[in-house]
């Protein structure tokens, strides 16, 4: 499973209630269309910004999702949102462990220390990744900005200090 994550914020002067309503409308229209390879999508608020999480079966679903997002019943809500959004950036993540959570909670971004193997990192993260509501995601092919890993947890957690985590609260809209 992959997640295409598109982060953005509303332009100054934008009515945030209308912006969030537009996001909900767009995701509902995408859910109704159910393009091939599409699993689900949600938007989360992170302080003054937002991230749209599009869960897809595989990378082949990206082309279908891209076409579906800007056509049919999704065209107008997409275009309205695009005119009101700033600083858009995307990244592609692969599910390493766990099951994707739809509810809010916390997103912990971190990079693997260069001296640590991926197998050793996996072992060090087991106290968190073995929890039922936690998922671990890894950036694919350096597509998108750092950090390399994203741990989603329903509660705030503290990872080992050498991972230099960046914690953000995420609230579903």
pLDDT tens, residue by residue, 122-167? 999 999 999 989 999 999 988 888 899 999 999 999 999 999 999 9
Q: What is the pLDDT of residues 28-61, one digit of tens each?
A: 999 999 999 999 999 999 999 999 999 999 999 9
Q: What is the pLDDT of residues 56-92, one digit of tens each?
A: 999 999 999 989 988 888 888 898 899 999 999 999 9
pLDDT, mean of residues 102-114: 93
Alpha carbon 75 to its chain's center: 21
Mean pLDDT score across all residues of the chain: 94
Q: Is the dihedral of CA 95, 98, 104, 106 positive or negative?
A: negative
For the chain, give every domain's residue range. 2-92, 95-172
Architecture of domain 2-92: 2-Layer Sandwich (3.30)
Whether the CB-CB separation of 111 and 149 falls below 8 Å is answered with: yes
Q: Are 54 and 4 in contact (CB under 8 A)?
A: yes
Q: Where are the beta strands (DSSP E) in 37-142?
A: 38-46, 49-56, 85-97, 105-110, 135-139
Residue closest to 5 by CA, chosen among 145, 158, 111? 145
pTM as predicted = 0.92
């Amino acid at each position: 499973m992959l997640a295409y994550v598109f982060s953005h914020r509303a332009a100054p002067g934008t009515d945030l209630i209308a912006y969030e309503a537009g996001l909900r409308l767009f995701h509902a229209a995408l859910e109704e269309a159910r393009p091939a390879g599409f699993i689900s999508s949600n938007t989360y608020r992170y302080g003054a910004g937002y991230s749209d999480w599009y869960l897809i079966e595989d990378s082949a679903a990206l082309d279908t999702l891209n076409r579906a997002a800007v056509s049919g019943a999704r065209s107008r809500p997409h275009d309205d949102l695009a005119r009101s959004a700033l600083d858009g950036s995307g990244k592609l993540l692969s599910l390493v462990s766990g099951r994707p959570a739809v509810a809010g909670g916390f997103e912990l971004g971190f990079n693997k220390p260069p001296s640590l193997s991926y197998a050793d990192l996996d072992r060090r993260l087991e106290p968190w990744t073995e929890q039922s509501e936690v998922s671990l995601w890894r950036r694919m092919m350096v597509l998108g900005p750092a950090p390399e890993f994203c741990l989603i947890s329903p509660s705030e957690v503290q990872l080992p200090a050498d991972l230099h985590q960046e914690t953000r609260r995420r609230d579903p809209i």
